Amino acid sequence: MKTENKYYTPDISEFHIGFECEGLFTDYGHQSWTEISINDSHDLIGMFDTANHLSIYDEFRVKELDQEDIEELGFEKIESRVVHCEVYKKVYNKITYCIFKTNGVISIDFYTHFKNCDEPGIAMFRGKIKNKSELIKLLQQLGITIDK
């Protein structure tokens, strides 16, 4: 059973190169959500009329980080004894990376030898990640290879 995506309205400070969101576009009275990827500065500038603070879109929304997003980045959801927590694992260059997701808080640990993520590893990050774009940016900063 597929769950329905949850969305939130992003703050202007969240927009950056690499950001993914949806824009509500109105054309002759018909409204539709359009997927947007900001690939370069021209995309970012083109979304807004900065002189008048206008946009070609009526509003924006961003999908909250979910299982599909994490799996698209090369992590595999695994069964774990960790209670009330989603656990994802990725092995790269003999290092196991585990993402723990609990009530919107993300923890990323790593292990230098194979572990099943049931015990604490070496902490790399603890905090809130609202969407896939933020997770991609964080993984890049941590030097974790992203599968796309």
Residue with tokens 């900063």: 141
Q: Are 86 and 71 in contact (CB under 8 A)?
A: no
Q: Are 82 and 100 in contact (CB under 8 A)?
A: yes
Q: Tokens in use for 50? A: 């900065």
Which helix (DSSP H) or strand (DSSP E) does residue 141 occupy? helix 132-142
Counting residues of the chain whose pLDDT is more than 70, the rounded percentage is 91
pTM of the model: 0.83
Six-digit token string for 135: 């997770």
Reported as a single tens digit per residue, the pLDDT across 21-36 is 999 988 888 899 999 9
pLDDT at 42: 84
| Spans of the chain below 50 pLDDT | 1
Is the Cβ–Cβ distance between 77 and 86 less than 8 Å? yes
